[in-house]
Amino acid sequence: MTPAARPVTPPDGSRRAALLVPGGGLVSARVAWRHSLRFRLALTYSLLALVLILLTSLGVVTLLLSRMDQQFTDRLNERADTLAEAFTGVQRGLGRTAGSASAYTMLIDAEGVVYATSPILREFNDAPFPFGTQGQVTVQDTSVRAVQRPVGDFGTLWVGLPEVDLIAARQSALSALLLALIVAPLLLLLTGWWVGRRALSGLEHAANLADRIDPTRSLATLPLPAQEDEVHRLLTAINRLLVRIEDGQAREKQLLGQIVHELGAPLTVLKASLQRAEERTNDPEVQRASLVADELTFTTQDLMQLARGELEMKLAWHYIPARTLRGRVDRLVPGTTFEGDWTGGILCDPDRLTQALRNLTANARRAAGTDGTVTVTLTETPEWLTFTVRDSGPGLPPELGEQIFQPFVSGAGSSGLGLSVSRQIALMHGGTLTGENHPEGGALFTLAIPGAALGDDSDEPDEVEETDLLNEPPLPARS
């Protein structure tokens, strides 16, 4: 019988499994906007464009204002020349008025007294000329730019032109420049973001596909975009790398399989010989050698598990008494203390679960030493069976963290395969395996698997054989 299918949540409340999808793949995570490549590209593009726009706009506005100022000066000089010619040329308008009612003109005699003005400047008539040689003055709260021309016997002609229109045009140009400097960065940032998103869409799609690649399965190449640009070259290089990785993994698995196969037959003969010698002589040295043979057997099984991979491991489910599992672990790792309630039953693959617990307790015994303690505690809830393995050793190296569950990573001088295989077995049972340091010292590993869900469901007609409940599966665990 197989366990009832149902969603499970680890008993420690961990959300680590939320990153996994059925089949072992990883859920692709979105990159934070502030770390996004397209955001950085858009921001860089916007800043560069803003600097260019600022420099260009300043140049254009400066040139525009300079031209306007030059046109204003030319217009003033033209008016002054025209009026001066009218006063000095007898044939060209002697006695012609000095301008319209809004004109700014004054005639100044040799003594510096104004004796004739346009109507708007009537207040300065018969008074000393107040402006001297100033080229820009204020008349009746109006900024006026002025020039002077000699007009023969008439004295000096002073001509002014109000700068109201010029000032308004200058303010309008500066306001437009300021508005452009405020609006342009926002438009450039949005445009850059959109362009970057379109340009990098192929790379983002490839990243999402790469996130879903399961390294324990056959690696798949990434689809290439139609346009042969930098993204196409990058994905092509990644595909070549994936092919090399897959070839390397295949060779490693083949080599491991050959090694295990070559070691399997001699170890089987050696174990059988040591067991017969132990039964005949009861010699402690023979018993120690038999334990070493068991250690080598389980190491070869770990290597075979690594070579086969998770997908090739098949579980043979049986419902066994918990005391049977305890007896197997006790014989494999002598000196282990068992606590908790071991009177119930466990639905599992006995060989694989024995292998996982044996790896945990063997590592604990290695860390605690011959004089230390290793304690295995079983607690049961309606949903979970939880095994905790605690030792009195120095604890887990804090710098390793989750790396201790990776193959060939070890903090205690072992092969580094046991914890990796044990976690793999726990995951195949639908459970979890975590490790931490106990507050009172030593390492603490927690292996949790779903509890048995046995019932009389009509859609599961297979029944558990009585021999599965009472008889002990062969020991040690099969490869």
Q: Given this model, what pLDDT does residue 409 score? A: 66
Domain shared by 240 and 388, yes or no = no
CB-based contact 221:247 (threshold 8 Å): no
Amino acid found at 52: L
Judged against a pLDDT cut of 80, whether residue 422 lies above it is answered with yes
- Look-up: residue for tokens 């399965």? 217
In this prediction, residue 30 has a pLDDT band, given cuts at 50, 70 and 90, of: low
CB-based contact 291:299 (threshold 8 Å): no
Whether a cis peptide bond, with omega within 30° of 0, leads into 476 is yes
Encode pLDDT of 300-319 as tens digits: 776 776 666 544 567 889 99
What CATH number corresponds to the domain at position 105?
3.30.450.20
Domain shared by 387 and 276, yes or no = no
Domain shared by 229 and 179, yes or no = no
Domain shared by 169 and 232, yes or no = no
Query: Of 308, 331, 366, which residue sits at a domain end?
Result: 308
In this prediction, residue 384 has a pLDDT band, given cuts at 50, 70 and 90, of: very high
What CATH number corresponds to the domain at position 319?
3.30.565.10
Domain shared by 38 and 181, yes or no = yes
Encode pLDDT of 425-478 as tens digits: 999 999 999 999 998 889 999 999 998 754 444 344 343 433 343 344 444 444
Instruction: Count the Cβ atoms, other than its own, within 10 Å of residue 409.
Output: 14
CA angle 68, 73, 77 (to 5 degrees): 150
**What domain range is 426 assigned to?**
1-23+315-479
Encode pLDDT of 188-199 as tens digits: 778 777 777 776
Q: Given this model, what pLDDT does residue 226 score? A: 73
Q: DSSP secondary-structure letter at 412?
A: S
Domain shared by 250 and 383, yes or no = no
Give 197 or 377, the one with higher predicted confidence.
377
Domain shared by 399 and 479, yes or no = yes
Domain count, the chain: 3
Q: Pinpoint the alpha helices (H) of 137-200.
A: 164-199
Q: Tell me the average pLDDT across 352-372.
A: 89
Domain shared by 207 and 222, yes or no = no
Domain shared by 54 and 167, yes or no = yes
Q: Given this model, what pLDDT does residue 218 score? A: 57
- What are residue 112's phi and psi, to 5 degrees? 80, 25
Q: What is the mean pLDDT of the chain?
A: 76
Considering 10-19, 138-147, 269-278, 429-438, the range whose residues carry the highest mean pLDDT is 429-438
What CATH number corresponds to the domain at position 252?
1.10.287
Domain shared by 124 and 60, yes or no = yes
What is the distance between the alpha carbons of residues 106 and 92, in angstroms, rounded to a whole number? 19
Q: Pinpoint the alpha helices (H) of 349-428.
A: 350-368, 418-428
Domain shared by 282 and 319, yes or no = no
Q: DSSP secondary-structure letter at 282?
A: -
pTM (predicted TM-score): 0.45
DSSP 224-263: PPSS-SHHHHHHHHHHHHHHHHHHHHHHHHHHHHHHHHHH
Tell me what percent of the chain is helix, strand and coil, each rounded to the nearest 5: 50, 15, 35
Q: Given this model, what pLDDT does residue 32 score? A: 64
Give 10 or 361, the one with higher predicted confidence.
361
Q: Given this model, what pLDDT does residue 404 score? A: 82
Domain shared by 442 and 473, yes or no = yes
Encode pLDDT of 98-126 as tens digits: 444 457 899 998 888 988 888 888 888 88
Q: Tell me the average pLDDT across 57-69.
A: 84
Query: Of 308, 342, 357, which residue sits at a domain end?
Result: 308
Query: Of 267, 284, 308, which residue sits at a domain end?
Result: 308
